Amino acid sequence: MIYGLIGEKLGHSYSKFIHEKMVDDKYYLIPLSHDEFDQFMRNKEFAGINVTIPYKEKVIAYLDELDTLAKEIGAVNTVVNNNGRLIGYNTDFYGLLYLFTSNQIVVKGKKCLILGNGGTSKTAQAVLETLGAGEILKVSRRPEGDNTISYEECYKNHKNAQVIVNTTPVGMYPNIDNSPLDLTPFTLCQSVVDVIFNPIQTKLTKQAKSLGIKSVTGLVMLVAQAKQAEEYFRGIKLEDAIIHKITEELLNQII
């Protein structure tokens, strides 16, 4: 029974390096088409898996039990196989919360924009609510539901946003010359958080830096969520210090 990561495209992933440094055991990258995903989940031939785009919401239909937090968020990125019973968790919440707090990004009372409306955007909303955001709006190319607006409306009526969180894959390797938003009109913006971790600096965060806006990308989030995932996989407790240790080792590999 294996541990690994499932998703549609995994060529950009650092998860194998992170998990094998964290715990001395094999960790596999398992790219799956939609048809392969269905068969993989039905076969249950794994001890524990992490889940990435585009399966964080689709995987819920295959689970026997949802952790309370995962149920509230409506997205799962970690699944534990407990003797054939599949239990879903959301460790992205811990990872993103850690990214905000370890970088001293202040959210309380502020107007926040979340770019995207997929599984990670739900996690971002939960984190922003936990940190006491004053107002939260999602921005999507296909706006649906409450508090979700188009990019056109965003540029027109919400240039006073103070915190912007990108949960879309726009700007991810190999499409590193793309950006989901032009930050120039957002003159009150104080912080930009991009959950993308490859490249280390995205076009969005580079622009933020050039405008004097505090910006971070998602490498620390990736390592932090992996720490909690391993704790669920193996029933162990790991110290937070391992997050910084492995992030530094990974940066040395990348740069």
The pLDDT of residue 22: 97
The pLDDT of residue 145: 76
> Which class for 53: exposed (0-12), middle (13-18), buried (19 or more C-beta within 10 A)?
middle
Q: pTM (2 decimals)?
A: 0.92
The domains found in the chain, sorted by start residue, are: 2-90+220-254 (3.40.50.10860), 94-217 (3.40.50.720)
> Is 56 part of the annotated catalytic residue set?
yes
For residue 169, say if its preceding peptide bond is cis, omega within 30 degrees of 0. no
**Identified catalytic residue from 56, 110, 138, 227:** 56
DSSP string, 154-219: HHHH-TT-SEEEE-S-TT-TT-TT--S---TT-TT--EEEE---SSSS-HHHHHHHHTT-EEEESH
The pLDDT of residue 12: 81
Along the 255 residues of the chain, how does pLDDT read in single tens digits?
999 999 999 988 899 999 999 999 999 999 999 999 999 999 999 999 999 989 999 999 999 999 999 999 999 999 999 999 999 999 999 999 999 999 999 999 999 999 999 889 999 999 999 999 999 999 999 888 778 999 999 999 999 999 999 999 999 988 999 999 999 999 999 999 999 999 999 999 999 999 999 999 999 999 999 999 999 999 999 999 999 999 999 999 887
Which helix (H) or strand (E) segment is 94 a member of?
helix 92-102
List the Cα angle 236/239/242 in 5-degree steps.
110
Q: What is the pLDDT of residues 89-133, one digit of tens each?
A: 999 999 999 999 999 999 999 999 999 998 899 999 999 999 999
Secondary structure (3-state) at 229: helix
Spatial separation of the C-alpha atoms in residues 62 and 76, rounded to whole Å: 11
The pLDDT of residue 253: 87
